[in-house]
Amino acid sequence: MKKISLSLREAIDTALVIIGVTIIALRVLSIADSGNDMVVVAVGIMMIYLGVWGLGTHLLPSRRIFSHLRAEVDDFLSLVRKLNAHSVNGESALVDETKAEMREAIEQMATAAGVTD
């Protein structure tokens, strides 16, 4: 059996959805009629909304500790897009230039690897 592992962010989001559904279900299934039914249901819907849209992700700080490497990888991906565009357009001189830039970017990634913020 595969073990399910939730991060704290995922656990918060899942809990909000479950609590929201529970609030709505209990209010709908409740026989007692109070004047605040719509308020209770609205609170339940808001809990579901916050869970689905990832409140836990927005409340907790980022776990990234290798932001320089991340920036280098993002730059490399832009070079990949650039290489593809030049290749599609048949611009062989620009393809060679971009390949040289990519080699340099790989060296920069190797330098940034393992370095924390």
Q: Which pLDDT score, from 0 to 100, does residue 15 have?
A: 87
pLDDT in tens, 30-47: 766 667 777 888 888 888
Residues 46, 18, 36: CA angle, nearest 5 degrees: 45
Q: Which residues of 73-103 are buried (b: 16+ CB within 10 A; e: fewer)?
A: eeeeeebeebbeebeeeeeeeebeebeebee
pLDDT in tens, 46-74: 888 888 777 776 677 667 788 899 999 99
- Tokens for 73, please give them: 């990888």
Distance (Å, whole) CA 37 – CA 8:
32
Per-residue CA distances from 72 to 22, 77, 96, 100 (Å): 45, 9, 20, 15
Q: Which pLDDT score, from 0 to 100, does residue 65 have?
A: 81
